[in-house]
Amino acid sequence: MCGIFACHEHPNVRAFKPTALRLAKLIRHRGPDWTGSVIVNNTILVHERLSIVGVNSGAQPLTSGDDSITLTVNGEIYNHHVVRKQLKKAYSFQTLSDCEVVIPLYMEHGIDAPKYLDGMFSFVLHDKRLNRTIAARDPIGVTSFYQGWSSKMPRTVFFSSELKSLASVADKIITFPPGHVYDSLTNKTTRYFDPSWLEQTKIPTNPVDYQLLRMTFENSVRKRLMTEVPYAVLLSGGLDSSLVASIAQRETIKARGAARASLLTKADYDLIKPGTNHLVAMAPQLTTFSIGLPGSPDAKAALEVAKFLGTNHHSLTFTIEEGLNALSDVIYHLETFDVTTIRASTPMFLLSRKIKAMGIKMVLSGEGSDEMFGGYLYFKDAPNKEEFHEETIRRIENLHLSDCLRANKSTMAWGLEARVPFLDKQFLQVSMNIDPAEKMIAPGRIEKYILRKAFDTSSEEGTIPYLPDNILWRQKEQFSDGVGYGWIDALKDTAELEVTDEDMRNPKPEWGSDIPDTKEAYWYRTMFDELFPICCAETVDRWIPTWSKQTDPSGRAIDSHVATYKK
């Protein structure tokens, strides 16, 4: 991924260029490899590049052969080879970049171009002949993207990968909606991603197909290994990241271990102890990372998974003081004051810095599974399958304000790209069209039962297990809980010292009706206000569980949480 900044129809774009470059520099952490800019008509596009695919030839902005179309993209297009083959008219590609396919798709399909993309992306494209700018965001909003306007320049429209680049030039800013495309010719933003499962009135009735579920997810992980740089997996030890690591390890062996496996003699195989996972014996060392307070439940589980899979595992720790010291930076990069997001983002932010320092530029992560399968423990309180399904849709539609925002910005703060296999379009199509009754928590059926069952090979003779049984069937821990319960306790205790009872009784008038209901939430909001103007707060969503009276979003606060782990 990268960082993009664009301004359409500026009244004096050449005089604005130094400002545009300065604003783009604010997000250079997203793309430390190179900076490019192009001015066309009254529009400027700036790109801060993180090179992952087409490393030697993919500098942006990209242009068509006749220079009539200019494009800047943040993201990865996984089906770019397929798109190239399916173009109706031959197109002379200028680079090996996966993103360049957007140009010929636009030439053939106009604003419908995003419909043909499979990936995570935000892009701004300018058509010189029509003086037209279009902008689009991937279906779920894995990449961050914002749009802004200035009351002083009513015809001007700004776009940026992060809020901070717009805060000084726009007085109205929105989060660009996922699955939508903007067209300057009509000045309208329309939805292009409209699968049937998004209609809450249509409750799916498909029975679960475990083989299809498994196969589709394996393919999702496989396509996200499209890279020319070192990669790794973020391994928390929970079900989701562990499945990603298991499949990635298998794919790594297929891609890079074939030659090594062919060199193994019968004597080598005889040395493998009976019952040993053969992945360990043949693994070309996929790298995995975990982070937590010393002795955290996630760190213990992650180490067990890593040993089982045979990965080159790095179990990193952080102290409560290091986490507290990073909070202001986390809020600056995350651009939110949501309690859950900040709690979970801080360890991920610290981990990402260490990963990037080790020379890795891309990681796979496990976000999205809990939303589509009802994995959060509060889902047990769903009164029926209809409301269960409606809640999964609501959570998926808001992922760009929570978990996707966390995964994208915590990593990109250090120029590290995170890819999320669970949010693959095809996998969403399969999983979200399953009868929600199959997903509901019930006696004998733990949360995410059908996902666990899809990867349970205990009845398949001769099949190497994906995970140890105790990991495959391990109860959900929210990431901010799993890194160590002391982390959340420390945040609450510190907030008690930072925010007085008098503060709580007298919230700021400019907050309107969005009043923090805990001292921790109040503390984060005040830090956010110190970093961003009040108009930026409109882009933030504060999450609380449905069907629950609790104000603390921690999974540990849910009544059904079993106290398996000690603090």
What pLDDT, on the 0 to 100 scale, is given for residue 479? 47
Q: How far apart are CA 305 and CA 12, in angstroms?
A: 57
In the prediction, which pLDDT does 493 show? 97
Residue among 236, 291, 297, 239 nearest 567 (CA): 297
- Domain at 210-484, CATH class: alpha beta
Q: Is the pLDDT of residue 36 over 90?
A: yes
Q: Which two tokens stand for residue 421?
A: 């296999």
Dump pLDDT digits (tens) for 170-180: 999 999 999 99
In angstroms, the CA 474 to CA 562 distance is 11
Domains of the chain, residue spans: 3-194, 210-484
pLDDT(567) > 80: no
**Residue 461's pLDDT is what?**
86
At residue 524 the predicted structure's pLDDT band, cuts being 50, 70 and 90, is very high
Domain 3-194 class in CATH: alpha beta
Q: Which residues are annotated as a binding site for L-glutamine?
A: 98
For residue 55, name the pLDDT band (cuts at 50, 70, 90). Answer: confident
Q: What is the pLDDT of residues 104-124, one digit of tens each?
A: 999 999 999 999 999 999 999
Cβ–Cβ contacts within 10 Å for residue 181, how many?
24
- CA–CA distance, 238 with 410 (Å, rounded to integer): 19
- Judging by beta carbons within 10 Å of its beta carbon (0-12, 13-18, 19+), is residue 406 exposed, middle or buried? buried
Task: Give yes or no: 2 in active site.
Answer: yes
The sign of the dihedral angle between the CA atoms of 532, 534, 538, 543 is positive
More confident residue, 262 or 424: 424
Annotated binding residues for ATP, written as ranges, equal: 234, 291, 365-366
pLDDT tens, position by position, 235-280 = 999 999 999 999 999 998 887 655 454 444 544 444 444 444 444 4
224, 367 in Cβ contact below 8 A? no
Average pLDDT, the chain: 91
Annotated catalytic residue within 2, 7, 404, 536? 2
pTM here is 0.92
Q: At residue 462, does pLDDT exceed 90?
A: no
